Structure 1
């Protein structure tokens, strides 16, 4: 087992992001040095990346109850939160396979005894003319795994509890979205049941995300007006030629699943 966090994360940049506003930090600067114990517990994160997709660097958050931050807000009494230490980790390709992986220590060690709190994985589709020649941006989807009782940076639905090692297998579809009629800003989404899937694990040593992307089941959407108009809804066009409109801002995921052929 390597004994420094820099050996685990050779491409990382340490960052601390504070999402609270209107607060004055009262505590001194926290020591964010990592020193994982030798032969300590680890978790291996693996992602099976289809050729049509791109994997973003993994965001890893460590928290510390020893090194806490104290905040003073004019509207509420002084309060403290667990210290936080964020890393960006590049998953490495495993030989000639489609698998990318990284191994993380549960204990980051150091003076603050950093503990693994959560990870965020994100994937996007590659822009190509297979979907539309006019695409200007991409929107990804992802997975968040929580390892302690702290909230992740991106808060969503209640996480699914998992015991032992586990696989995350889910279906995804390309979604080409034109936000307004004649709009030149067309987005390509990697669309799943949720923007992010949330899981919670206490003891996993291996976690694998295997997204199943269906490149030939594409949904197109367009808002049929040049600006927001009362009574007008986005129109979604599905692979079978049917069209539907709704105001919830996303395609019918169950309908897309119905086009998958066994």
Structure 2
């Protein structure tokens, strides 16, 4: 269900609760009500979703310096951090196209004066006969875009700074993984250069993620033993017939890129 407040959509909250063992959270309870100002600054997030994939709801995180959290335990002195407030946003399909989008206010408003901190986009492959009938789980990939100086909840590698509006275009491949020999738990990954790509923007008004998925370039992996064994590495099989073994825990992304025609 979606509600409209000052012409901007406010969505059902999936409040992110970050609890530390032995910590006491600041009281009174933080007011997480959002009230974006009318005609305020916004950013439009658009994702081009291939038919072979599914887009998860977008996680939007707001932070507040007015409403802070206080932590206190026996090991470190009392300290505070900016309050946090997250929501899950369903991107809406644009007509008959493959585009899904949502417009997000930079200023969430409310008593805490919530400010946009970061968003997380995630996509997975659909399980169908194109890959395997025996797949038991899917692992997605995504994009995290940061709008302030706070760290996102998922911390990764280098962040790419962007000015103005920008596109994110990246190649992805299906990866079917059997963790151990004769294991019935088979995972289907949407595999890219990194599990999540990180970007930072201060002024973008439109950001588009266009994942390019290559469904016919499938890499398979299997650990050739029924349990972890010294000296044994996972074997990766590529569609050109080549095989390799390594202990990196992931396929050779550059190798997959070389197979694009």
Instruction: Identify whether the pair has TM-score above 0.5, normalized to the shorter chain.
Output: yes
Change (3 A) 1:112 1:125: same
The residue that corresponds to 2:108 in the other structure is: 108
* More divergent stretch after superposition (243-252 vs 2-11): 2-11
Q: Show the counterpart of 1:171.
A: 171
Is the CA contact (8 Å cut-off) linking 2:122 and 2:142 kept in structure 1? yes
Cα distance in 2, alignment partners of residues 103 and 66 from structure 1: 25
Distance 1:256 1:39 in 2: 46
2:221 matched to which residue of 1?
Answer: 221
Shift in CA distance, 3/122, structure 1 to aligned 2, threshold 3 Å? closer
Q: What does residue range 80-229 of structure 1 map to in structure 2 within 5 Å? A: 80-229=80-229
Gap change, CA 1:28 and 1:18, over 3 Å in 2: same
CA contact (8 A) 2:6 2:37 kept: no
The runs of at least 4 aligned residues of structure 1 exceeding 3 Å deviation read 1-11
* Distance in 2, Cα, partners of 1:6 & 1:122: 28
Of residues 130-139 and 92-101 in structure 1, the stretch that sits farther from structure 2 once superposed is: 130-139
Q: Deviations over 1:150-190 (max 9, x none)?
A: 01010111211000000000000000000000000000000
Displacement after TM superposition at 1:9 (Å): 3.8
After TM superposition, the score normalised by the length of structure 1 is 0.96
SS at match of 1:256: helix
Question: What TM-score results when the alignment is normalised by the length of structure 2?
Answer: 0.96
What residue ranges of structure 2 are gaps of 5+ in the alignment?
none
Q: How many Å separate the matches in 2 of 1:253 and 1:51? A: 23
Quote the Cα distance in structure 1 between the aligned partners of 2:35 and 2:131: 47
Give the stretch that moved more between structures: 21-30 or 181-190.
21-30
User: CA separation in 2, counterparts of 1:6 and 1:233?
Assistant: 57
Task: Name whichever of 166-175 and 65-74 sits farther off.
Answer: 65-74
Q: How far apart, CA to CA, are the structure 2 residues paired with 1:116 and 1:4?
A: 18
Residues 8 and 36 of structure 2 are in contact (CA less than 8 Å); yes or no, is this contact kept in structure 1? no
**Structure 1: runs of 5 or more not aligned:** none
Larger displacement relative to structure 2 (18-27 or 105-114): 18-27
Aligned residues: 261
The structural deviation recorded for 1:73 is 1.6
Q: Deviations over 1:30-68 (max 9, x none)?
A: 011111111000000000000000000000000000100
Distance (Å, rounded) in 2 between the aligned partners of 1:81 and 1:45:
27
State the 1:3 CA deviation: 11
How many Å apart are 1:27 and its aligned residue? 2.9
The answer as to whether partners of 2:143 and 2:198 remain within 8 angstroms in 1 is yes
